[in-house]
Structure 1
Amino acid sequence: MKENFSVSLMCMDFLNIREQLEILNEQVGMYHVDIMDGHYCKNITLSPDMVKAFKKVSKVPLDVHLMTTNPELWINTVAEAGADIISLHAETINGQAFRLYNQIRELGLKTGLVLNPATPLSEAAHYLGRIDLLTIMTVDVGFAGQPFIEEMLDKIAEAKRLREENGYHYRIQIDGSCKPSTFKRLMDAGADVLILGSSGLFGLDQDLHEACRKMTESYRKALEGSEVSCGL
């Protein structure tokens, strides 16, 4: 079941990074690292130096999400810092998508694509076959704690259909408001990986061991009777 979860490290307690990562290493399948430049979205979060620090403790892959206006300026830097997957926004790579994905592959890393809520899958139709991880934003970029955008359930279902019809291999990951009240709808729509932040994990309990237990239990309950296997 841990492979169904990624954790947004921008939501963790930065006074206890090592302790929290050591707990999470046993609970989740991936870490999600948001790098924002303050321009593409009006916030600044993590950095390549933080990626380097996380890498020293992490036992799971690091998915680095570049919320940057010029992602081409960041790829080599985050690769050297320890990224395992580099996820680029469709809205920032028009005119250079194939070149950038070739660059990521040449660095020996996996490729990711991120779509904002208002960006249709058709925007990336020609390179969906080149990606390993498709992240669908279910909130607008930049800030944690936003309400879930219901219309994205149809986009998730469309992404799953396109994968099946074309033989694509990407996993479908959801970024935004992944929590007990949305778990079942997201997985039933076709999600493979849920990114957990404040509402889905850290806000469930001050004790991270207990927060993980509550998250896992709520996930099991949400998927009882669902057509989606929870990996048990």
Structure 2
Amino acid sequence: MNKVEFSPSLMTMDLDKFKEQITFLNDQVDSYHIDIMDGHYVPNISLSPWFIQEVRKISTLPLSAHLMVTEPAFWVQQLIDINCEWICMHAEVLDGLAFRLIDQIHDAGLKAGIVLNPETPVSVILPYIDRLDKVTIMTVDPGFAGQRFIEGALDKIVELRELREEYDYHYVIEMDGSSNRKSFKRIDEANPDIYIVGRSGLFGLDDDIAKAWSIMVADYQEMTGKVLSS
């Protein structure tokens, strides 16, 4: 798990250039991150299973759905029906549902992930951590793009790496929120497996997606001193 992976948050892409941007990124990134918001768990309403199907028409990369919803069971089945590779649910709404929904995802041959808000400790997921394929640490409050980076949340990435090493868990560790030039060095020190990049880290850097990607790579390499492998 030494290779750093980047997963663009498609909520922040330029939808006027949907096909152009996805076609370019298909050769650069490892997966796509798709936020689904219901207007209840967070006040915004964002992407949907329909959007995932549209991405699937022009990409074969793994798609990861981030469910910011109050009723995860309703959405999990929809995502299973369209064969979304990763289904990631917020721990904060899973009391009494976690084991059932994780098993439901695995029984469909898909991967189950859990997302933790900045104030939610890793201890909340310990009862079922051994079943997880991914743990996502939010470094902003959920529901809005462009928020201020919450550096203290990165301590949970370190904690998750230590737990994975000690108990041989198989989950990957992902960070989500304000991943950009200003935060790359500190994120790198925490050492997640997957960086979610959105408006401030990628799509907002230039109107031309190829130029934006080059700027992002240069920013990462300058701030971390590491060269990205292809």
Structure 1 contact 3–28 (Cα < 8 Å) conserved: no
Q: CA deviation at 1:169?
A: 1.2
Q: Distance in 2 between matches of 1:106 and 1:174?
A: 26
For residue 57 of structure 2, give the secondary structure of its aligned residue in structure 1.
Answer: helix
Asked if residue 188 in structure 1 is aligned to residue 200 in structure 2, the reply is no
2:179 is equivalent to residue 178 of structure 1: yes
Residue aligning to 1:47? 48
State the 1:94 CA deviation.
Answer: 1.1
Q: Determine the structure 1 residue equivalent to 2:202.
A: 201
Structure 1 distance, partners of 2:79, 2:16, is 23
The answer to whether the 8 A contact 2:66-2:87 is kept is yes
TM-superposed CA distance for 1:49, in Å, is: 0.7
Q: 1:68 to 1:193 in 2, by over 3 A?
A: same
Whether 1:32 aligns to 2:33 is yes
State the TM-score, normalizing by the size of structure 2. Answer: 0.95
1:100 equivalent to 2:96? Answer no
Q: Distance in 2 between matches of 1:66 and 1:97?
A: 14
Contact 2:137–2:154, Cα closer than 8 Å, also in 1:
no
Q: Which amino acid aligns with 2:71?
A: N
Find the aligned partners of 1:230 and 1:192 in 2 and give their Cα distance.
13
**Structure 1 position 34, deviation (Å):** 0.4
Structure 1 position 127, deviation (Å): 1.1
Q: Distance in 2 between matches of 1:2 and 1:200?
A: 19
Alignment of 1:1-232 (within 5 A): 4-224=5-225, 230-231=228-229
Between Structure 1 and Structure 2, how many residues are aligned? 229
How far did residue 82 of structure 1 move?
3.8
Unmatched 5+ stretches in structure 2: none
Give the secondary structure class of the aligned counterpart of 2:104: helix
- Measure how far apart 1:7 and its partner are: 0.5
Q: Work out the CA distance in 1 between the residues paired with 2:20 and 2:79.
A: 23
AA in 1 matched with 2:106: R
Please give the secondary structure, in 1, of the residue aligned with 2:159. Answer: helix
- Report deviation, 1:3: 5.3
CA deviation vs aligned residue, 1:66-97 (integer Å, no higher than 9, x gap): 11101001112122234110001100111110
Displacement of 1:204: 0.9
Extract unaligned runs of 5+ from structure 1: none
Per-residue CA deviation, residues 205-232 of structure 1 (Å, 9 max, x unaligned), is 11100000111111122221x6xx7446
CA distance in 1, matches of 2:34, 2:224: 27
- The 3-state SS of whatever aligns with 1:87 is strand
Supply the distance in 2 between the matched residues of 1:93 and 1:118 (Cα, whole angstroms).
16
3-state secondary structure, aligned to 1:20: helix
**Within 2, Cα distance between the matches of 1:27 and 1:201?**
12
Whole-Å separation in 1 of the counterparts to 2:153 and 2:76? 28
Give TM-score scaled by structure 1 length. Answer: 0.94
